[in-house]
Chains A and B, each alone.
Chain A
Amino acid sequence: MDELILELKNEIIETLNLEDMQPEDIDTDAPLFGEGLGLDSIDALELIVLMEKNYGIKLRDASKGKEIFKSVRVMADYIEKNRTK
């Protein structure tokens, strides 16, 4: 799980162009949106594409995103349970 969390943090940094951030700067349990990392709705779309491209997870119901993208740990947990690649 820790390996996946680190991998995910690196992918988030690359996909969202968080140029000045390192994986350790992202709190594994902090909210990704709003007060935590401060991501927005366009970032959510980017994360949906990331999950499909890298892990084969198609998020049919966009409203599920709010729960899945709660934190890096929640996201990693969802990926581990649902990944097809």
Chain B
Amino acid sequence: MTRNSFYIKSTAQISIQQPLCEDWMENPIWYDSNYVRSLEPDYKQYIPPMEARRMTRIMKRSLTTSNVAIKKSGLVLPDAIITGTGWGCMDNTEQFLEILCNEGEQLLKPTLFIQSTHNTISSHIAINTCNNGYNITYSHRCVSFDMALFDAYLQYKFGKIDSALVGSHDEVTPTSFVLLKKMGLVGCDDEICGEASVSTVLSSTPSDAHSAVAAIRIIYKPSVSEIHSTVNQLLADAEMCTEDISAVMVGISGNKTTDNLYYDIVDNCFRDKTILHYKHVFGECFSASAFGFYAADCCLKHGYIPDFLYVDKSQGMIGTPKTILLINHSDGKTFSFILLRSV
């Protein structure tokens, strides 16, 4: 049995678009502000109040998207829970540090201490879903989701697991937004800073799946020729050729500095391809690349691409997409290439 395709059984998102649904494909919400917080669902429908009382927003979001994705997939107990997050539970971390400073390192609240680490999210999902399987957190700035998916894909490819819950979650508090903006990481130029919580369940069985991860490659500080060869290797891994790529989805966000890197890749490697983007819809944050994955999966599942995802509609719109190549980078250093195909 070849294990090249890891089938996407389900996805769920909470973002600056309507939560836990795919309304954004027909009726996206547009924002004028460059800092927008996620639209929250009614968590009482998903988490008992006595359990929810200790959870901050990111914990409620991640648990809800995870449980919804698990339920939709029909898989009760995925073999692995693999999570990406850039800054983890920032709200708890900020509160903990504030008390640490104000109380002279005395009288620290245990809940904030326990729940301020990056791996809080993944372990919390495991405890809530009674899952004792492989559990790990990847914190690699803007490629955190890509790293989590890469781990799941490799473990699947080498026969270690047959299914996985992969997610990426980041919250952007008002304080962290100010800091990230000063660092030039979010909210620059025309960019919208959002928040992300995306969960997906992947499985070895294609039944009920509409799309699959066909190949992944991640490289560090590549030259143009290395990007060319990586894409060729990626396509070879999936037994495809360049002509098979329906569209290339990139992380253009409105930040001129980081966008130029995508334009360079497109100009050098994909001049004839249809280019798509998604961060103008979902916003930028460390976990934003998970929205690229989610949006591409939605397009493959529904068999069409909303016109607002095209970077340049004059290039021509495509019919039913069959294969979408996702390209993401973190700080212009680490580049990821993820190939999704319809099933």
Task: Evaluate whether A38 and B50 lie within 8 angstroms (CB atoms) in the complex, with A46-B109, A49-B107 already known.
Answer: yes
A77 proximity list for chain B (CB < 8 A): none
From residue B109, how far is it (CB to closest CB) to chain A in Å? Answer: 6
Task: Evaluate whether A42 and B107 lie within 8 angstroms (CB atoms) in the complex, with A19-B49, A20-B49 already known.
Answer: no
Binary per-residue interface labels of chain A (10-21) against chain B in the complex, 1 for a CB within 8 Å, 0 otherwise: 000000111110
- List CB contacts (< 8 Å) of B198-221 with chain A: none
Task: Evaluate whether A52 and B111 lie within 8 angstroms (CB atoms) in the complex, with A18-B53, A19-B53 already known.
Answer: no
A45 within 8 Å of B by Cβ? Answer: yes
Q: Which of A17, A49, A52 contacts B110 (CB 8 A)?
A: A49
A53 within 8 Å of B by Cβ? Answer: yes
CB-nearest residue of chain A to B49: A20
C-alpha gap A42/B109 in the complex (Å): 10
B180 within 8 Å of A by Cβ? Answer: no
- List CB contacts (< 8 Å) of B28-53 with chain A: 49-50, 53
B interface SS class: loop
B54 within 8 Å of A by Cβ? Answer: yes
- List CB contacts (< 8 Å) of A59-78 with chain B: none
Q: Which of A16, A45, A52, A53 contacts B53 (CB 8 A)?
A: A16
- Do B53 and A49 have beta carbons less than 8 Å apart? no
Q: Number of contacting residues on B, CB 8 A?
A: 11
C-alpha gap A19/B54 in the complex (Å): 10
C-alpha gap A49/B96 in the complex (Å): 14
A45 proximity list for chain B (CB < 8 A): 110
From residue B104, how far is it (CB to closest CB) to chain A in Å? Answer: 12
B97 within 8 Å of A by Cβ? Answer: no
Q: Number of contacting residues on A, CB 8 A?
A: 12
A49 proximity list for chain B (CB < 8 A): 107-110
B49 proximity list for chain A (CB < 8 A): 19-20
From residue B51, how far is it (CB to closest CB) to chain A in Å? Answer: 11
CB-nearest residue of chain A to B53: A17
From residue A16, how far is it (CB to closest CB) to chain B in Å? Answer: 7
B53 proximity list for chain A (CB < 8 A): 16-19
- List CB contacts (< 8 Å) of A12-48 with chain B: 16-20, 38, 42, 45-46
B54 proximity list for chain A (CB < 8 A): 17, 42
B224 within 8 Å of A by Cβ? Answer: no
A18 proximity list for chain B (CB < 8 A): 53
C-alpha gap A53/B104 in the complex (Å): 12
CB-nearest residue of chain B to A20: B49
- Do B111 and A46 have beta carbons less than 8 Å apart? yes
C-alpha gap A46/B53 in the complex (Å): 13
C-alpha gap A17/B107 in the complex (Å): 18
A20 proximity list for chain B (CB < 8 A): 49
- List CB contacts (< 8 Å) of B62-118 with chain A: 103, 107-111, 114
- Do A42 and B114 have beta carbons less than 8 Å apart? yes
A19 proximity list for chain B (CB < 8 A): 49, 53
From residue A56, how far is it (CB to closest CB) to chain B in Å? Answer: 11
C-alpha gap A38/B53 in the complex (Å): 13
C-alpha gap A19/B110 in the complex (Å): 19
Task: Evaluate whether A46 and B107 lie within 8 angstroms (CB atoms) in the complex, with A17-B53, A17-B54 already known.
Answer: no
C-alpha gap A46/B109 in the complex (Å): 6
A42 proximity list for chain B (CB < 8 A): 54, 110-111, 114
Q: List 5 extra interface pairs beyond A17-B53, A18-B53, CB under 8 A.
A: A19-B53, A20-B49, A42-B111, A42-B114, A49-B109
Q: List 15 A-B contacts (CB under 8 A).
A: A16-B53, A18-B53, A19-B49, A19-B53, A20-B49, A42-B54, A42-B110, A42-B111, A42-B114, A46-B110, A49-B107, A49-B108, A49-B110, A52-B107, A53-B107
B: residues with CB less than 8 A from A are 49-50, 53-54, 103, 107-111, 114
A: residues with CB less than 8 A from B are 16-20, 38, 42, 45-46, 49, 52-53
| Pairs of residues from A and B, 6 with the lowest C-beta to C-beta distance, nearest first | A17-B53, A45-B110, A53-B107, A49-B107, A52-B107, A20-B49
